[in-house]
Amino acid sequence: MVATGGIADTVTGDLRLIPDIEVLAVSSRALEKAQAFAAKHEIPRAYGDYRELIADPDIDVVYIATSHPQHHAVARAALEGGKHVLVEKPATLSLADTQDLVDLARERGLFLLEGLWTRFNPLVVKLQQLIADGELGDVRSLHSHFGFALEGALGHRLWDRQQGGGALVDLGLYPVQYAHLFLGAPDTVVAHGSFRNGVDAEVNLLLGYADGRSAHLSTSLVSTLDNNVVIIGSAGRAELFAPLYNPPKLVVNGKEYLYDDQVGEGYGLQAQEVSARIRAGETESPSLTPAESLAIQRTISAAAEQIGLNYDDVPK
């Protein structure tokens, strides 16, 4: 476990619920924080530098939960150190850096997964199967919106450009990945957005496909959106209900499906997938391959370029 922030705390709590996974060590730039985190979660080892954790010969997988700008450097170091990697989304802040990790993982024969836990939600998996079985007919459009009003919390990391803040790469990734999951990579990307406090505060995207299909997506830090996903096909309609990152309810042509047996906060399913694939000697998950992460990053990068967003000057 690299980092001790909120997401690391939540994921660690879920990891400890899985019998065949041991959280062996945690690192933080401040050793005291690592030690306090280790004490809270009963983790045997604490390090004051992620490089020390990577050098630990007993560790198989490194989970990276640092601020976004540090993802690439830590993930690269882990892969160079011979460790399998689960890196929180977004994998990196640039297409080039994500490509670099994918290439390195392939070169070293190591497992690499971007931590888009949504892909392992049982209702998302169920909807994929229903669509494959023809329940919606020919899927023609997708509408997905994820945003909330955060203007009263300007100290939040999402308002901090130095931490990779902004709506598109953090929140907008969810609607974009849904479009890729159910429609595929788009042929065209049109984006419009606005900036506040130095970060992208709201972004609207229209993804177009050569055969006329489309995805209408939006994300915001200044207004509360529906936070759901609607998919429309020639034979019906499906909706994944809020919160779209871990939907608890799915309705397909009037039939309701519920995710009501979640364990912990829901991150365990992703961790179990990582464990199962590595134990089987595999280097990627079919639920979200490195190639798919690259395709999603390509769409986000196209939108970012159109609205004038880049992180080239953010320290990594």
Half-sphere exposure at residue 183, Cβ-oriented, CA atoms within 13 angstroms: 34
Q: What is the Cα–Cα distance from 106 to 125, expressed in whole angstroms?
A: 26
Note the Cα 238 to chain centre separation in Å: 22
Q: Of how many residues is the chain composed?
A: 316
The residue from 33, 40, 83, 89 that is catalytic is: 89
Tokens of 244: 């779209």
User: Burial letters for 266-300: b for 16+ Cβ neighbours within 10 Å, e otherwise?
Assistant: bbbbbbbbbbebbeeeebbbebbbbebbbbbbbbb
Q: Which residues contact 261 (CB under 8 A, 6 or more apart)?
A: none
| Dist CA 218 CA 202 (whole Å) | 7
Q: What are phi and psi of 78, to 5 degrees?
A: -65, -45
Active site annotation includes 33: no
Contacts with 114 (C-beta within 8 Å, 6 or more apart), sequence order: 87, 88, 89, 90, 91, 288, 290, 293
Neighbours of 107 (CB within 10 A): 9
Q: What 8-state DSSP symbol labels residue 267?
A: T
The residues carrying an active-site annotation are 89
